[in-house]
Amino acid sequence: MTEQPGRRLLLVHAHPDDESINNGATMARYAAEGARVTLVTCTLGERGEVIPPGLGHLTGAALGEYRLRELTAAMGELGVRDFRQLGGAGRYRDSGMMGIADNDDPDCFWQADVDEAAAHLVEVIREVRPQVLVTYDENGGYGHPDHIQTHRVALRAVELAAEAGVEIAKVYFNRVPRSLAVDAFGRLERDLPGLPFAKSAAVDDVPGVVDDERVTTRIDGTAYAAAKAAAMRAHATQITVAEPYFVLSNELAQPLFTTEYYELVRGEQAGAEETDLFAGTEETR
């Protein structure tokens, strides 16, 4: 392992399992290289749809508690020791999918005051002092209210932390280049008859798909493919894995990407295509 004690990466996600799907290989790689990897999850996913019939009785707070245990197991697979819930476990509840009555719950994350929620994240930023933060774009990747709110809270926290004298050098959004997604779904269609999944999702079902030119950064996590798959399997209420594919509760197969892609939205880009989220940052040793 190459020791890199000055590298500090903060990821901000909406629910347990989002981190493993979007960034599992990246997290495993940087943790193995000695960086401090910190995950903040904004809700416990209390309104998630449960896949295994034997766990179908789990709802609400009981499901949230179970998903926190799944998250703990997933972080063990990725080698990440620092993972937290925004404002403490259960502070903000899952809001459910956009347009349902659950969005109006005053305790749900969608209804949270952005500055108040961001203040909780600023506490983490001031402690960890990350050079790099990763989160979603303004649509939350695919329009889920908790993902959109996570974007708002994360970027507001970056602003508030800067006002307090803690600058984050680089901010990235999770991305998937469209050409890669098209190729991967082409392989999936050919492989589908031999898989335990009946139907395929579509390219635009994948959060964060954008035209290739918007992608600034590629993190090769192929050496950590097994760790990412294991972390995703740990979220068994939400994900079924059959490498190199997986399904969510909609039972539509998707590719499991082990090279992960990002768009730099704040900070200086280091070269035409970055292969390191920390490229160009100063490492505090």
- What's the rounded Cα separation, in Å, for the pair 29 and 220? 9
**Does 220 appear as a known binding residue?**
no
**Does 18 appear as a known binding residue?**
yes
Which phi and psi (to 5°) does residue 163 adopt?
-65, -30
Helices (H) and strands (E) in the chain, counts: 6, 12
Alpha carbon of 120 to those of 42, 99, 184, 232, 264: distances in Å?
Answer: 10, 27, 38, 27, 24
- State the amino acid at position 118 in one-letter form: A
**Does 120 appear as a known binding residue?**
no
In this structure, are residues 16 and 45 in contact, taking their beta carbons and an 8 Å threshold? yes
Neighbouring residues of 170: CB distance < 8 A, sequence distance ≥ 6: 131, 132, 133, 264, 266, 267, 268, 277, 278, 280, 281
- What's the rounded Cα separation, in Å, for the pair 233 and 246? 9
- What's the rounded Cα separation, in Å, for the pair 26 and 220? 8
Gyration radius from the chain CA atoms: 18
Which residue positions form the known binding site?
15, 18, 147
Which residue positions form the known binding site for Zn(2+)?
15, 18, 147
